[in-house]
Amino acid sequence: MIRLSNIEKRFGDLTVLKGVSVTVAEGRVTALIGPSGGGKSTLLRCINLLEIPTSGTVRIGEEELSFQPGGKPGWKDIQRLRGQTGMVFQNFQLFPHRTAVENVMEGLVTVQKWPAEKARDRAMALLRKVGMDHKADAWPATLSGGQQQRVAIARALAPSPRVLLCDEPTSALDPELSGEVVEVLGTLAAEGTTMVMATHDLRLASRIAHEVVFLDGGQIVESGPSQTLFTHPTRERTQRFIATLTQQGQRGEGA
């Protein structure tokens, strides 16, 4: 279970998250939606502490860390929490100087000090899972965007994180390539992988998210099960936003 309590994040004078509280149950997929600049990425990055919350509490499984303005958490504490997470980035961020399989092995070998052979076995199994084992020895630069993102998903899963954080995993891909990524994420969701993902991709969100959180101006406007939130949003602000997403989606498909 992941519980964010009263997360506040300030960049200088700008308050980007204004006391956000979210709970994600084990094995569930939560989509963060909302207009650009609403704080989706920042919230995700506060979960794996790429951004340190100004205040609030992050709990992942048994690990919990609280933040206060001015107080800086120790490196050990950050590692302890971050170790529970894996992250998938909008623009993949594979290590360009390592092959696909080396990318997936990297965390196991460097951080967890696994022997190379064991790490390679696990990496190959993960590449098989995302349908990329035939490209194990390829360089990232030679892969399509969708293929790179699938390798990146395998890399994020390698250390067996408790939660997979995805920041717009499909938005750098054209619809065809994003389909293969949605499919992989859908399989993971079906297997009970806990996920939190920021997305503008209605297809992705409606297909695999159980819960949806609508974030605007650094606050949660509305949240709930994806079925009801997408079809019967209660807040007017949410209705408008989902209407624009739907229009965009239709336009995108028509093109």
Q: Which does 82 bind (CB under 5 to 8 A by kind): another protein, Mg ion, ligand ATP, none?
A: another protein
Q: Name the minimum Å distance from CB 88 to ligand ATP.
A: 14
Query: Which runs of consecutive H residues, i.e. helices, occur in the chain?
Result: 40-47, 75-82, 100-106, 116-129, 145-157, 175-190, 202-208, 226-231, 236-254
Q: Name the minimum Å distance from CB 158 to Mg ion.
A: 24
Q: Is 142 helix (H, G, I), strand (E, B) or coil?
A: helix
Q: Name the minimum Å distance from CB 14 to ligand ATP.
A: 6
Within its chain, how far is the Cα of 193 from the centroid? Answer: 12
Name the residues that contact ligand ATP, by CB under 6 A: 11, 14, 16, 34, 36-42, 198
Q: Which does 209 bind (CB under 5 to 8 A by kind): ligand ATP, another protein, Mg ion, none?
A: none
In the block, which residue shows the tokens 């004078």? 13
Q: Is 91 in the site for another protein (CB under 8 A)?
A: yes
Our CB check for ligand ATP shows the closer of 41 and 149 to be: 41
Cα(210)–Cα(98) distance, integer angstroms: 35
Identified binder of another protein from the candidate list 30, 54, 55, 85, rule CB under 8 A: 85
218 to 10, 32, 58, 202, 221: CA distances (angstroms): 10, 12, 17, 21, 9
Query: By rule CB under 8 A, what string of x and - marks binding of each residue 40-79 to another protein?
Result: --------x-x------------------------x---x
Q: Name the minimum Å distance from CB 159 to another protein.
A: 6
- Triad 38, 89, 238: Cα angle to 5°: 25
Q: Name the minimum Å distance from CB 226 to another protein.
A: 26
Is 219 exposed, middle or buried (CB count within 10 Å of its CB: 0-12, 13-18, 19+)? middle
